[in-house]
Amino acid sequence: MKVTILGNNSALPAFGRHPTAQAVTVYGDHLLLDCGEGTQIQMQRYGIKWRSVPHIFISHMHGDHYFGLPGLINSMSLLGRTTPLHVYAPPAMQAIMDIVQGVAESELCFPYYFHPLPEGSAATLVDNESYSVKCFPVEHRIPCHGFVIERKTRGRKLLPEKAREYEIPAAFYDRLKQGEDYTRKDGLLVKNEWVTEDGPSPKKYAYCADTLFTDSFLEHVKGADTIYHECTYLHADVAKADARFHSTARQAAEFAVMANAKQLLLGHYSSKYKDLEPFREEAAEVFANVHATVEGAAYEV
C-alpha cells in the first residue's frame, strides 16, 4: 500500500507545485484523493493509470481540490473507458458535473455513479474484500471531510513453484491461502508454511484534508500506520493558520503524536514558501518519522 503525491500545494500552480491530489494504491487499485487542477497530467507523468481508478474522493469544494475532476472524467470517456467510476464528493459537485455535461450535450461512455458525502458526519463509503474507505468531518471554513483507507489482509501468499513441487492441484490453492495444509494421495501431509508465506498485513492510512488543528476527529484516525496532515503554514504564522482554518507543521506533528501514528506525511503548503525543508524540520522536533512530501514521490504506508 503506497501513497503517490500528485500535487501538494494549497493554491493554483506556483513554483512548479500543483494543487492537491494523491493516489493511494491498494492491491492494484488507485484510489484518487482530491483532484486539483492538472491532475490528469500529473497522473500520466507519474504512472497512475486512469483505467485502474475505480473510486475518486473529493474532500471539499475549494477549487484546489476539485478543479481537475471534470476534465479527468471527460478525458476518461474520450479515451474509451468502459468500467464503472464512483465519485464521492459534496453534493454541489454533482451540479457542476451536470452543467459540464449539459452545455456540451455529451454523455459519458462508462457507468458513472455519484455519491454525496454526508454533511457533518462520518460514514463507510467503500467496503469490499480488499479494502474499506470511510469519511469523517474535519474543521475547515466550509464543510470538509477526511478519509481513512484500510487495506485488509488477503490471507497467506501462495508460492506457486513450491505448490507445484509438492504436486498440489490448483483447485486447492485458495484453501492454501486461508492457511490449510494439504494431504496428498500418497499420504504426505504438506504443511502450509512449506508452500506459502505471510501475506500483506492490514494497513491504515488517514488523509486529514484541509483542517484547523483540532482533536475533534482523532477517534477516526487513531493508530493509523500513516497520517497525511496539511501544514499550510510554518508555526511562525500560526495566527494566520487559525484564522484561515488551516494548520502548521508543528501542529501536524502534535496531531500525529496524539493519534499514535507510525508515520506522518506533510503537504498542502502555501505557495508563499519556496523551500519545503523547514516544514520537515519543524515537525521533526515533535514527531521523528515525518516526510515533507514532494510531487511524484511515493510513500509506503
> Is 237 a residue of the active site?
no
Q: Residues 34, 64, 210, 225: which is the catalytic one?
A: 64
CA angle 3, 144, 254 (to 5 degrees): 60
**Can you give the three-state secondary structure of the chain, one letter per residue?**
CEEEEEECECCCCECCECECEEEEEECCEEEEEEECCCHHHHHHHCCCCHHHCCEEECCCCCHHHCCCHHHHHHHHHHCCCCCCEEEEECCHHHHHHHHHHHHHCCCCCCCEEEEECCCCCCEEEEECCCEEEEEEECCCCCCCEEEEEEECCCCCEECHHHHHHCCCCHHHHHHHHCCCCEECCCCCEECHHHHEECCCCCEEEEECCCCCCCCCCHHHHCCCCEEEEECCECHHHHHHHHHCCCCEHHHHHHHHHHCCCCEEEEECECCCCCCCHHHHHHHHCCCCCEEECCCCCEEEC
* Cβ atoms of residues 246 and 281 within 8 Å: no
Q: Report how far residue 254's alpha carbon sits from residue 77's, in angstroms, rounded to the nearest whole number.
A: 43
Give the residue numbers annotated as catalytic, written as ranges.
64
